[in-house]
Amino acid sequence: MKKRSTILFALLPLLISLLLTGTSQVSTPEVRAIWVTRFDYQKPADVEAIVANCARFGFTDIFFQIRGNGTVSYPSQVEPWAFELTGTDPSSTGRNPGWDPLKVAADSAKKRGIRLHAYMNVLPGWRGVKDPPRSAGQNWTAHPDWFMVDSLGQRMRPTSGWYSFLNPALPDVQQHLKQLAAELARYDIAGLHLDYIRFPYDYKDVAPQLYPKASAAEISRRSDFSYDRFSMEQVRQRYSGNWGAFRRAAVSQVVAELNQTFKAQRGPQCIISSSVLADFDKGYGTAFQDSRRWAKDQMVDWLVPMNYNPKLFDEQLSKMRKSLGRRATAAQLVVGIDCKASPAEIRRQIDAVRKAGCHGYALFAYSYLFENHRPTAKGLALAGIR
């Protein structure tokens, strides 16, 4: 049995290449990306195995997470080390693990001919009910005024599984994020991938955990951001009371500035990509993501809509294609596919993306295809192995 498994594993490159590339001819190379989260690695050997597996499986691009909640997985002068690298709780925030995950990933990817993108949660500033140590200088304790404020005047609070967000309208926050982009641009990587670059429209789903006795009306007010003094003055003076326009402009400004900062150092050939809501209209109206504008104005090179609802997958894909047009679809649309689905459904969605003429797809995430860096049953099934 062990020998058979070894043979099957050796055949994976060929089998998965057939699955991922298909038989149709395309005019531009297809993007076959995969997200790797910060929870997938803790030591250099993990990163080496991740990159090797992704290359072996035929992926062209890795979105490698190096920032989750105001902490990072590389030596930074701007934010502290992520505690996940050295411990199990926030008490180890800022502790140096003694190695550089992003450098290891970048070197390994270059050696294997796969593009690596530094993947960052942009606006999340802290998550969890326990604070980081003040000595770490993490934003939650060092810069409490940088966080969004609800319509009742209180700072947005994180939950055990959800983030408190930084306010993208604040000049200090914008400068802070640009400094992060400048640090990341020093690495020999293909691009910068932006996630959680939006307002937290979904906070209402977790707010009852923090306010269990609140009425529906209060939960609504607790989930409406950012009513800090600076933002309210901006809305009054520059946006004639139009909160939607103000929020969209703030988010878009951060996208534009991260693009400019990163490309100023890495060059115009590097790739700025962003995870966005699959429903562009919902993203525009409730999350204040102006995705279509980002694509049209080349603020991002790739839009990566998270098309994770299998019941709506085809409908959403059709809407995206019509909204962007054929040219932008072919050049900029990389469709996110959720690997919670069955292997058969994932294959079907990949085929639908190809038939729609998209630039490619991205799978979420590595942990569904590998466990302890060995292929899972789902990973093997996607390679055509039963």
Whether the per-residue pLDDT at 69 is higher than 90: the answer is yes
Confidence at residue 25, expressed as pLDDT on a 0 to 100 scale: 39
CA atoms of 189 and 169, how far apart (whole Å): 28
Specify burial of residue 93 (Cβ count, 10 A radius: 0-12, 13-18, 19+). Answer: buried
Whether the per-residue pLDDT at 11 is higher than 60: the answer is no
Whether the per-residue pLDDT at 16 is higher than 90: the answer is no
Whether the per-residue pLDDT at 321 is higher than 80: the answer is yes
Confidence at residue 382, expressed as pLDDT on a 0 to 100 scale: 84
Confidence at residue 381, expressed as pLDDT on a 0 to 100 scale: 87
pTM for the structure as a whole? 0.92
Domain count, the chain: 1
What CATH code is carried by the domain that includes residue 80? 3.20.20.80
Q: What is the pLDDT of residues 253-291, one digit of tens each?
A: 999 999 999 999 999 999 999 999 999 999 999 999 999
Identity of the amino acid at 378: K
Q: With cut-offs at 50, 70 and 90, classify the pLDDT of residue 27.
A: low
Is the model more confident about 26 or about 333?
333
Q: With cut-offs at 50, 70 and 90, classify the pLDDT of residue 12.
A: low
DSSP state of 22: -
Confidence at residue 28, expressed as pLDDT on a 0 to 100 scale: 77
CA atoms of 109 and 55, how far apart (whole Å): 8
Structure-derived torsion over alpha carbons of residues 316, 364, 199, 93, reported in degrees to the nearest 10: 180
Confidence at residue 22, expressed as pLDDT on a 0 to 100 scale: 46
Confidence at residue 4, expressed as pLDDT on a 0 to 100 scale: 47
- Average model confidence (pLDDT) for the chain? 93
Q: What is the pLDDT of residues 129-173, one digit of tens each?
A: 999 999 999 999 999 999 999 999 999 999 999 999 999 999 999
Which CA distances in Å does 167 have to 68, 125, 229, 231? 16, 9, 12, 9
* Domain of residue 185, residue span: 2-382
